[in-house]
Amino acid sequence: MKNLNHLIVAFDGTKDSKEALELGISMSKKLESHLSVIYIQKEKPLHHLDQTSIMSPAHTVGEMRNYPVVPVAQDEASSQVQEDKSQEEIELETEAKRILQHHHMKANVAISYGEPSDAIVSYAQENNGDLIIVGNRNISGLKKLIFGSVSEKVSQLSTIPVLIAK
């Protein structure tokens, strides 16, 4: 049997992903393995782009039209946080870390960008994951037929074992 030295948990803040994280924590403790928690954002937020390249020098602000907008200076620390992460990313990272801390567990918490199933599998491969743990949303019917589920796609794409937590 293959050693499970590095577990990868996909986390998006939903009840199902929290259950997957709880399971990953429990397994990681029993197996004495390294744990990584990954959140996938489909696209990088606009603040990751250079704003000057996408804004014209004259645009609308409130009722004022076609007047240049002067940037407002922010303190360096808050500016750096905003440049690096969106509010959603900060909230999800905080929630994952809260759950980990509650269980006295240390883990790498990372954010990646792209199609969730592809990005989860890529992250696991790039970081030498031995097992991917994902939640199951129990979607059914037409929605599942059209979009499929992330857990199903991950299990099809992955070359390492995938555990779907229910």
In the chain, where the domains are located:
6-44+86-165
Q: What 8-state DSSP symbol labels residue 35?
A: E
Q: Which residues have CB under 8 Å from 88's CB, separation 6+?
A: 41
Alpha-carbon Rg for the chain, nearest whole angstrom, is 20
pLDDT digits (tens, 9 = 90+) for 110-134: 999 999 999 999 999 999 999 999 9
Helix H or strand E segment including 108:
strand 108-113
CA distance 104 to 106: 7
Q: How confident is the model at residue 38 (pLDDT cuts 50, 70, 90)?
A: very high
Q: Which two tokens stand for residue 129?
A: 């994951």
Three-state SS at 115: coil
DSSP string, 36-99: EEEEEESS--GGGS-HHHHS-SSEEETTEEEEPPPPPP--HHHHHHHHH--HHHHHHHHHHHHH
Predicted local distance difference test score (pLDDT) of residue 66: 52
Q: How confident is the model at residue 59 (pLDDT cuts 50, 70, 90)?
A: very low
pLDDT digits (tens, 9 = 90+) for 73-113: 545 544 444 456 788 888 999 999 999 999 999 999 999 99
- For the structural domain made of 6-44+86-165, what CATH number should be given? 3.40.50.620
Alpha-carbon 127 to chain mean position: 15
